[in-house]
């Protein structure tokens, strides 16, 4: 618990109507500001930077910058008292920010782990798989991370939350980079499979069609260009890679003989028994 500032910092403000008394006191996670008999409060979490001190002929001015009240300045305070008060506010401000982060530590760890996995994703980062992570990251950023002050939490903690904030702000780039990383690694890992699954090695375009696993993927190609080879390889790849079980895959062809050929080719080339059907 942040202790109450028993002796408030006193000062004054010169305005066109004369001298107006003003005082500041640290009270819990707020700063009480007294002026002309009225009391206002500034929450420590709303501060956008540590208190600023400026020495002058009539004493030291202390300025608070916050999201709630812009700038609040106390003038004419003793320099030693102002410096001690500023240090106490800074320490309390840091504790408040870190305490808020600590309350969401488990949630942050979970979201951060998901974001960091995108650097080398174990599975294809399709839109439906990224969406829940993005929802969590945006919610966490809106409720907490965007309100934390980098100066208060320190560079190490700021660097820790940075990947989550970056992902929430620009998920398209994060997913594009994750797709590129996955595809590159997967093409290398399954190179021998792509070289031998058909009588001729699959072309780069065919290999890409196999490893891409979007929510919906459309492959356009002319007659005799190897569409059946892609379907054969993709069905075998999905099962061999543990992405799908055979009973989860439905293969369709327009003609019965084409469906039979597809079934035979899948099982003969990969050992995976998947029955193709007609519409």
What pLDDT, in 10s, does the model give residues 199-216?
899 999 999 999 999 999
Nearest to 275 by CA among 250, 256, 255: 250
Give φ, ψ of 157 to 5 degrees.
-70, -40
- Average pLDDT of the chain? 87
Q: What's the pLDDT band for 192 if we cut at 50, 70, 90?
A: very high
What are 191's two structure tokens? 């190179």
Give φ, ψ of 99 to 5 degrees.
-65, -40
Nearest to 50 by CA among 6, 21, 90: 90
Distance of CA 213 to the CA centre of its chain: 23
Mean pLDDT calculated for residue range 53-62: 88
Given a cut of 90, is residue 19 above it in pLDDT? no
Q: pLDDT at position 45, please?
A: 87
Distances (CA, A) of 216 to 19, 212, 264, 278: 72, 10, 25, 20
The set of long-range contacts for 36-41, using a CB threshold of 8 Å and a minimum separation of 24, is: 40/69
What pLDDT, in 10s, does the model give residues 214-223?
999 898 888 8
């Amino acid at each position: 618990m942040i202790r109450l500032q028993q002796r408030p910092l006193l000062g004054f403000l010169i305005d066109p109507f004369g001298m107006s008394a003003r005082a500041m006191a640290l009270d819990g996670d707020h700063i009480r500001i007294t002026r002309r008999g009225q009391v206002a409060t500034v929450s420590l979490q709303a501060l956008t930077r540590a208190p600023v001190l400026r020495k002058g002929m009539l004493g030291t001015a202390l300025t608070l910058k916050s999201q709630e009240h812009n700038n609040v300045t106390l003038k004419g305070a003793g320099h030693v008292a102002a410096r001690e008060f500023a240090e106490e506010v800074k320490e309390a401000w840091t504790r408040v920010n870190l305490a808020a982060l600590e309350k969401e530590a488990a949630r942050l760890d979970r979201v951060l782990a998901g974001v960091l996995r995108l650097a080398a994703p174990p599975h294809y980062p399709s839109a439906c798989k990224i969406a829940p992570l993005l929802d969590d990251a945006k919610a966490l950023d809106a409720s907490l991370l965007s309100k934390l002050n980098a100066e208060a939490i320190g560079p190490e903690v700021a660097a820790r939350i940075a990947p989550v904030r970056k992902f929430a702000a620009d998920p398209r780039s994060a997913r594009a980079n994750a797709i590129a990383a996955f595809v590159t690694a997967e093409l290398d890992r399954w190179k021998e499979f792509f070289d031998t699954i058909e009588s001729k090695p699959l072309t780069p375009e065919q290999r890409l069609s196999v490893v891409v696993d979007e929510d919906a993927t459309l492959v356009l190609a002319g007659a005799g260009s190897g569409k059946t080879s892609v379907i054969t390889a993709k069905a075998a790849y999905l099962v061999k890679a543990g992405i799908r079980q055979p009973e989860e895959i439905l293969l369709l062809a327009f003609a019965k003989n084409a469906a039979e050929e597809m079934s035979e080719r899948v099982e003969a080339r990969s050992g995976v028994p998947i029955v193709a059907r007609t519409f």
